[in-house]
Homo-oligomer: A and B are copies of this chain.
Amino acid sequence: MSTARQTRQREVIVQVLQQAEGPLSAPELLARAQVTLPGLGTATVYRTLKLMQEQGEAHAVHLDGEPMYESSGRGHHHHFSCNGCGRVFSLHSCPVALPRGTVYPGGFVVEDHEVTLYGRCPQCAAQQAQAPAPGVTAG
């Protein structure tokens, strides 16, 4: 079962994912990894991503319909997607208390959950409050 070999490709992919400021889509991950490893192929990224997920080293989140990936080991958290600038932030406090094994009304046994909040990040919220429209002043 020496199945997981240490290759340059995997090394780079893992590193890119760990250094990312947030979740990345496969194409984004590919692009970033190719900076270091120009010849890297699409398939390798997907295969490595699948492998990492099976081994629990990474997991997928779904933001606005796009599957994105992030490195594990940052603890349980969710995401906030800004409707203004489109950036995705990680939330470190979880708005729901649903540990594995919780039984939801009706007999649904919860094993995992995914929460995504949509709205305005601090910056966009501030812009909205201070400058409702371009050219409009507060006076």
Binding site for B on A (CB under 8 A): 60, 62-67, 80, 83, 89, 91, 93, 95-96, 98, 104-122, 125-126
| 7 A-B residue pairings within 8 Å (CB atoms) | A80-B104, A89-B108, A96-B96, A96-B115, A110-B117, A113-B116, A114-B116
**Pairwise interchain contact B112-A125, C-beta atoms closer than 8 A:** no
Number of copies: 2
Majority DSSP secondary structure for residues of A touching B: strand
**Pairwise interchain contact B118-A114, C-beta atoms closer than 8 A:** yes
- State how many angstroms separate the Cβ of A56 from the closest Cβ of chain B: 15
- Complex Cα distance A64/B61, Å? 8
- Residues from chain B with a CB closer than 8 A to the CB of A117 are 98, 104, 108, 110, 112-113
